[in-house]
Amino acid sequence: MALINVANREIQCKIVYYGTGFCGKTTNLHYIYGHAPARAHGAMRSIATENERTLFFDFLPIDLGTVHGFRVQFALYTVPGQVLYERTRVAVLNGVDGVVFVADSSPEKLEENFQNLIELETNMRRMGKDLGSFPFVMQWNKRDLPNAVPVATLDRYLNRRHVPAFPACATTGEGVFATLRAICKAVMAVL
């Protein structure tokens, strides 16, 4: 739920990057942290295991500065992708204003992407939200893999709602900002 604080002249929104383990959610945030202008972001915080898998979430505050007298901020979160952390994903989704589904383009991950998407739909429904009428974009990550599943196939199996989808390679940054721009605008459109 976006917060519009008239007295402090601030607007705050929450965006969650969702997807399977190792699909590149944290890499998206790292790229944004490393390449967005320094004034446009705060410190990135990660709650990770010893081997750097996301245990709870990553958190990166984004600050657009002042627009028409209001300071506009987006809080970016990732969820832990591993199957056993479903409860944690539900906790992180709490109060979300926009979702990015990061799909791994490897052929062996197609089914896992699909299951993860169904889980996301279910979790959103439990919170009284329908992804069909909610700020939601998809990212086809790891397009640099030599055996990446064709975009048309990903689109057919995973993007039944025909929401905006962006080919990406989060390690090089390709598509990272395009995805971020799209979800921020989608959130603002329903504010």
Partner 1 sequence: MSGESDMEQLTNLVVAEGELTNIARTLGRLALDTNAGHTLLLDKSGQLISAQGSGPQRDLIALGALLAGAFSSSRQVAEILGERDFRAIYQQGAYESIYTLMIGEQWLLVVVFDKQTHVGLVKVLARKASEELERILQRVRQGSAQAREQVVSVQFRDSVSNTIDLLFQD
Instruction: List contacts with partner 1 (CB under 8 A).
Output: 1-8, 11-12, 14, 32, 36-37, 40, 42-43, 45, 47, 56-57, 59, 61, 64-65, 67-68, 70, 72, 75, 77, 87-88, 90-92, 94-97, 127-129, 173-174, 177-178, 180-181, 184-185, 188-191
Side chain identity, residue 85: Y
d(CA 100, CA 180): 8
Closest CA to 116 of 149, 86, 147: 86
CB of 109 to partner 1, least distance (A): 25
CB of 145 to partner 1, least distance (A): 20
Hunting for tokens 């506009």 — which residue is that? 72
CB of 5 to partner 1, least distance (A): 5
| Token duo for residue 32 | 């944004």
Kindly give, in sequence order, each residue whose CB lies less than 8 Å from that of residue 113, ignoring residues fewer than 6 positions away: 19, 20, 23, 103, 104, 154, 158
Side chain identity, residue 163: V
> Which of 91/118 has CB closer to partner 1?
91
Is 179 in contact with 137 (CB distance < 8 Å)? yes
CB of 45 to partner 1, least distance (A): 6
> Which of 27/113 has CB closer to partner 1?
27
> Which of 113/141 has CB closer to partner 1?
141
> Which of 149/166 has CB closer to partner 1?
166
For the chain, the straight-line distance linking the first and the last C-alpha, in angstroms and rounded, comes to 9
CB of 38 to partner 1, least distance (A): 11
d(CA 36, CA 40): 7
CB of 98 to partner 1, least distance (A): 11
CB-neighbour burial class of residue 44 (10 A; exposed 0-12, middle 13-18, buried 19+): middle
> Which of 126/156 has CB closer to partner 1?
126
> Which of 74/101 has CB closer to partner 1?
74
